[in-house]
Amino acid sequence: MPRPARRQPAPSPAALLRHGFLIAVALFTVLPFVWMLSAAAKTSGEILQGGLSLLPGHPGTLIENLARVFAEVPLGLYMANGVFVCTAILALQLLIAIPCAYALAKLRFKGRGPLFGLVLLGLLVPVQVTALPIYVLCYVSGLTNSYWALVLPFVASAFGIFLFRQFFVTLPDSVLEAARLDGLGETEIVWRIAAPAARPAIAAFSIFSVIFHWNDLFWPLIVITDQTVATPPLGIVFFRNQEAGEDFAALMAASVVVTAPMVLVFLLTQRRFVEGIALSPFRK
């Protein structure tokens, strides 16, 4: 005879309260995105009406707003600039951070401790603190209004070095010793053994890096005045200042276009992201 199904115990009041709190926080977090999508499907007059209504207007309004955005400003160029800048920054960050992290985790050399201390210090310094001297350096070097000004200041990532170093600490030394006995040099060990083993951490860091630099407005607003090299957030600022005027519906439609790729990227890679964070032990 088949066994009767077990009755699941009723959730405790504490569990209900905890889940209710998490659901409320999730709804509060998602609300701005829902309102942005709703506003993109309305006319400016409907947006400026009294009250906060999440119901869109005519179904074709969103398409009309999107068509007007792409017709009035080179939003496709801004998106392509964002893809190029984020890809270049991420590639250079990985090229620098992975060998540095491996050296701090697995090689014994004089000054390793103070160097790791400088990495930790770099985590504590906000980007805004170093913006002025870096801008002066870019201006003196003639790099303003160029992709170089958007990429070079971010190629050395203290967070990336820290994250990968914490992951490489867990690699068994016996595996590395076996690789050295097989004749592999340290550079080959980094890229043929350490880096493939750190794929979860690389995936997590890649999501952090791409989302941060795609959404970054502070630094492009300082070094870029030419629309031909503008990133998506800066492009929306140009659109708002020069083309959109008070057309908030078109502005919200442009925001939807800029935000959608990052939302899709995170939804498609969230498993890797969580795995990378969970498998990266924060050890000394």
**Cα(134)–Cα(121) distance, integer angstroms:** 18
pLDDT over threshold 80, residue 280: no
Give 35's pLDDT tier (boundaries 50, 70, 90).
confident
**Cα(124)–Cα(158) distance, integer angstroms:** 10
Whether pTM exceeds 0.95: no
User: What pLDDT was estimated at residue 212?
Assistant: 92
**Cα(179)–Cα(105) distance, integer angstroms:** 16
User: What pLDDT was estimated at residue 284?
Assistant: 43
* 12-16, 157-161, 168-172, 180-184: least confident range: 12-16
**Cα(192)–Cα(213) distance, integer angstroms:** 28
User: What pLDDT was estimated at residue 157?
Assistant: 92
User: What pLDDT was estimated at residue 283?
Assistant: 43
Region label for 50, one of left (φ > 0), alpha (ψ between -120 and 50) or beta (otherwise): beta
User: What pLDDT was estimated at residue 60?
Assistant: 77
pLDDT over threshold 80, residue 185: yes
Over residues 201-230, the mean pLDDT reads 90
Give 282's pLDDT tier (boundaries 50, 70, 90).
very low
CA dihedral 10→16→22→26, nearest 10 degrees, is: 80
Our measurement of the distance from residue 75's CA atom to the centroid of its chain's CA atoms, rounded to an integer in Å, reads 20
Domains and CATH numbers, the chain: 15-69 (no CATH), 76-278 (1.10.3720.10)
- 106 within 8 A of 193, measured Cβ to Cβ: no
Which one has a higher pLDDT value, 84 or 201?
84
CA dihedral 260→263→269→273, nearest 10 degrees, is: 150
**Winning range, highest mean pLDDT, from 109-113, 262-266, 279-283:** 109-113
Distances from the Cα of 105 to the Cα of 92, 142, 162, 278, angstroms? 20, 37, 10, 19
- 224 within 8 A of 148, measured Cβ to Cβ: no
**Cα(68)–Cα(65) distance, integer angstroms:** 5
Tens-place pLDDT, residues 91-108:
999 999 999 999 999 888
User: What pLDDT was estimated at residue 277?
Assistant: 60
Tens-place pLDDT, residues 241-253:
655 556 778 888 8
pLDDT over threshold 80, residue 127: yes
- 175 within 8 A of 196, measured Cβ to Cβ: no
